[in-house]
Amino acid sequence: MGNLNFPWLALGLGLLVAAGLLFSGALSPDADYELPLLTMLIVNEFGFFVTAIGAGVGINMLLKDGMQAPLLLVVVGCAIMALGFLYMAIRLWPGMAAIQ
């Protein structure tokens, strides 16, 4: 029963982390950040791992227990969030913002 809530918690935590990073200027075109770059990269990595693990746990639950529409939506949300964190990490990495 404890694993049942993890994908939901991962999605919620991922949304909070993403909002915090976006409000701190993570995707700002002029690299005017409110937080130090290394801090934003570490927080971004945390968000990526939480949402990726949430998607993995959710997929495992779907395969074990069968298809459930709400869980499927949460898995898709976690996967999209993980890809978003990956994109944000590439954009945050010094010198990579110019490469689009």
Look up the pTM and report it. Answer: 0.86
Residue with tokens 């069968």: 66
Please give the chain's pLDDT, 100 residues, in tens: 455 589 999 999 999 999 999 999 888 777 778 888 899 999 999 999 999 999 999 999 999 988 889 999 999 999 999 999 999 999 888 766 555 5
Residue 78 identity: C
| pLDDT at 64 (0 to 100) | 93
Residue 51 pLDDT:
97
Q: What is the pLDDT of residue 93?
A: 83
Residue 1: per-residue pLDDT: 47
Task: Give the pLDDT score at 67.
Answer: 87
Q: Which residue has the tokens 């935590």?
A: 13
Supply the pLDDT for residue 33.
82
CA distance 5 to 51: 13
DSSP state of 95: T
Report CA-CA distances (Å) from 11 to 36, 37, 48.
25, 24, 11
Residue 85 to residue 52: CA distance in whole angstroms: 10
